[in-house]
Homo-oligomer: A and B are copies of this chain.
Amino acid sequence: MIMTPAPLISGTNAERSRMSNRQAALGQIRSAGQMGRAEIARNLGLSTQAVSNIIADLQADGLLVEAGTRSQGRGLPAVQYGINAEGGYALGVEIRPDAIFTAIVDLHGNATATRRRTLKNNEPEYLINMLLKLRAEMLEKTGVDDKRLMGAGIVIPGPFGQTGVSGLGSDLAGWQHLDAHALFEEALQLPVELSNDANAAAMSEQITTGLNNFAYLYFGAGLGLGLINQGQLVKGAFGNAGEIGHVQVMTANGPQSLESQLSRVAIQKHMNANNTIDITAIEYLFNQSDPKLMQWLDAGADALSQALALIENLFDPQSIILGGAMPAPLLEYLTTRTVLPTLSVSNREDNPHPRLQIGTCGRMAATLGAASLILNRAFTPNATSL
């Protein structure tokens, strides 16, 4: 499977300008909730008239709805516009070796339908058929016209391609040499965004928090890092950026991989569990204040602290967000136990954001993140290929 770095810089003409301006206007409205035309025009450096035309278009396309008027001081009150949740939908998909998760997400970012199926195998044909069936089911249930589906965001386990960290358990058997992107686009007949779990979850967090320079630590089976720089995902040359699990940290037992200290699998191992411990089981143990789990959390906090120092000094983010398939209270507890590193460029007074915070938690974090890859394109100029 090939992921080209694609530096495709393209020229601009009137039509592409309009497209770009439409997206910029939508982006403004989304991040503010609702807005008037004159304000959008000021923010984008366009004339009121231009924005009026654009808004009229968007409204005709069903992407916007009027939302009353608002007056601030003198002058004619501004007619407010908001995103029409039903104006468009994104298909979010997470594929794991053992299961597939899907969701239909509206323009407000709310899931209107979700599905979860266990997988018998990872053969492309089986998987694609499953995916098509789930899409059809969800579309029927929600009554969404499939013309309103803007695209599919698909999370598949990294690393992409055959690399030095392949075959360590999490990747999809038999997919290393496939062009998954083309395969999915062909099957779904939709624009597709491929990504790993951490990047997808990070993108979704960008939308909800409004941050545009941050790092996202995603707890899946292992541990992944999603990086957002200037609002853009840092995917790396082959889409494999963020493989933080293999980074070494110091422990009482000498240097170990971060993933072996801080992940669901690490918990499993620490608890000497024979079968997989999932998020529900972890939540139960945490609510019981299970001594072994609490012990693990202390060691985990130490590893996390080292990871923070690393991320902060390499990336200087506004904030580091924890999320993924872990119970929120556990991550909350983990943050309170974690020492924020002193020797760090993020150790400064004038950052208005917390250095460490909790984001979206739960099983569907990556699936919703996948959908947000598509939503993001609708709201960001020049993001067609990211």
Contact = CB atoms under 8 A, between A and B. Distances in A.
Contact of A348 (B161, B244, B349): B161
A174 interface: no
**Which 4 pairs across A and B sit closest by C-beta, in order of nearness?**
A236-B316, A164-B347, A11-B44, A11-B46
Interface string A235-250: 1111111111011101
A288 interface: no
Query: How many monomers of this chain does the complex have?
Result: 2
B247 A5 contact: no
B231 A232 contact: no
Q: Would you call the interface of chain A mostly helix, strand, loop, or mixed?
A: loop
B162 A348 contact: yes
A272 B101 CA distance: 60
Contacts of A158: 345
Interface stretch (A14-22, A76-84, A128-136, A147-155): A14-22
Interface size class of A (residues with CB under 8 A): 35 or more
A163 interface: yes
Contacts of A159: 345
Interface in A64-120: none
Contact of A164 (B14, B227, B343): B343
Nearest to A236: B316
A273 interface: no
A9 B44 contact: yes
A255 B351 CA distance: 29
